[in-house]
Amino acid sequence: MTETATQASPSGAPRRGWKPPTWLTRETILIALTLLAIAGATAAFPRSFPTFANLSTLLRNTALDGVISCGMVVLMVSGVFDLSVGSMFSMIGVLTAWMMTSGQVPVPLAILAGLGLAALGGALNGVVVAKVRVNALITTLGTMQIFRGIAVLVGGPGIANLPPSFSRLGQAEWLGLQSPIWLMLAVAVIGQWLLSKTRFFRKYYYIGANAKAAHLSGIPVDRMLIAAFTLSGLLAGLAGMTFAARVATASSTAGDAAELRIITAVILGGASLTGGRGTVWGTLVGVLFISLINNVMIFAGLKSEWQSIVIGSVLIVAVALDHFLSRKN
């Protein structure tokens, strides 16, 4: 039996030690750290850091991780994750490029076909996890290797000279911001609305909290998991295609190691590996935070090795603090 130190409050009712305010969560801590980093960098580099050019550079290089993360957060809310997103990113970029160049497929058709293949790849993950009951780690570890192999087989040293009509899609600018940034914002706004306001997507929280109870209460857990994996694959493929358009080349290694970076960002942003929590906005803050740390450390002239140390440390501290606060609450 746990003993709790109590003392009488002025009203006479027993008080059970410090209870943190409910607004103090991992997400709010991350937002505070992000604002602190921005404030610190602005103070240290007032001429070069807080400029539109630096902001758009930061967002441009964050954007496609942001797109993929929107799919990952839905998976992690439901208690699973997808390690194949980086390989999917590379594979779909390469396959779409191959269709447009060697395959002579018109650009719009190649894009649609690429998205279709991405959804199919995601659905494959979903079926194996939900119906065959192989756990998500093993399934997506396997498909990560398969997708990577396909990317290298088809893409070889890379596919250059992509049609200008395709490259324009990744390079277009509006209000000084490049199209990947607008894509991220659109996906995030839609994603946040779906996850917080629609009945269908809110069910993922129930699945993440207790899949068995969700099933018993009539939620079609298997079908919803397949849908979530399909969405994750689709968004990873869309991001890969957009990157190929942005650089006008499809590289078969473009998405290597992206999965761990994205999972880190999603967890930093409030999701849990066991499911039941997470938001799109929190995820975006996580993605932005990682990019921001890298950006600030380059401004500070710190070596690359320190960036990894800082990100890893922040992840552990943020999650540990979050667990501490949850127990107190």
Partner 1 sequence: MKTTPPVASSSRRTWLQSLALAGSAGGLSSCSQSSQPAPGLGPRSKADYSNEEYVWISPNANLPLYKAHDHPALELAARELGVKVTLAGPSTTDMPSFLTMIETIAVRRPAGMMVNAWDPSATIGPIAKAMAAGVPVITVDADAPASKRITFVGTNWYDLGVRQGEAMVKALAGRTGKIALLGMIEQYIDIQAFAGFRSAVEKAGVTVMDPQHDRGNQAVAAQVAGSILQSTPDLVGMAGFDSESGPGIGLAVKEAGKTGKIIVTCVDADPVHLNLIKEGVITAAVGQKRELFTYLGLKVLFDLNHSPVRFSADDRKAGLFPAPEIIHTGTYTVTRENVDVFLKPA
Binding site for partner 1 (CB under 8 A): 45, 47-49, 51, 53-54, 57-58, 60-61, 64, 145, 148-149, 152, 155-158, 160-161, 178, 243, 246-249, 251-258, 291, 294-295, 298-299, 301, 303-305
Nearer to partner 1, 5 or 175 (CB): 175
Find the shortest distance in angstroms from Cβ 258 to partner 1.
8
Q: How many CA atoms lie within 13 A of 217 on its CB side?
A: 9
Q: How far apart (Å, rounded) are the C-alpha atoms in residues 88 and 235?
A: 9
Radius of gyration over every alpha carbon of the chain, rounded to an integer in angstroms: 22
Torsion, Cα of 48, 52, 58, 64 (10° steps): -170
Choice between 78 and 291, CB closer to partner 1: 291
Beta-carbon count within 10 A of 99 CB: 20
Closer of 20 and 176 to partner 1 (Cβ): 176
Helix (H, G, I), strand (E, B) or coil at 326: helix
Q: Which residues pair with 250 in a beta bridge?
A: 159
**What is the nearest approach in angstroms of partner 1 to the Cβ of residue 71?**
18
Residue with smaller CB distance to partner 1, 74 or 181: 181
State the minimum distance, in angstroms, from the CB of residue 264 to partner 1: 14
CB of 273 to partner 1, least distance (A): 23
CB neighbours (10 Å) of residue 308?
Answer: 11
Decide: 179 and 172 in contact? Cβ < 8 Å.
yes
Number of Cβ atoms within 10 Å of the Cβ of 75: 30
Report the residue number, 218 or 301, with the smaller CB distance to partner 1: 301
In the complex with partner 1, the residue whose CB is nearer, 112 or 141, is: 141
C-beta closer to partner 1: residue 233 or 255: 255
In whole angstroms, how close is the CB of 236 to partner 1 at the nearest point? 13
**Residue closest to 77 by CA, chosen among 193, 190, 204:** 204
Q: How crowded is residue 24: how many other Cβ atoms within 10 Å of its Cβ?
A: 15
Question: What is the C-alpha to C-alpha distance for residues 324 and 319, in angstroms, rounded to an integer?
Answer: 9
Minimum separation from the CB atom of position 304 to partner 1 (A): 3
Q: How far is the CB of 169 from partner 1 (least distance, A)?
A: 15
For residue 136, the minimal CB distance to partner 1 (Å) is 18
At 119, the amino acid letter reads A
Q: Are strands 7-8 and 14-15 parallel, antiparallel or unpaired?
A: antiparallel
CB 232 within 8 A of CB 242: no
Q: Which is nearer to partner 1, 25 or 125 (CB)?
A: 125
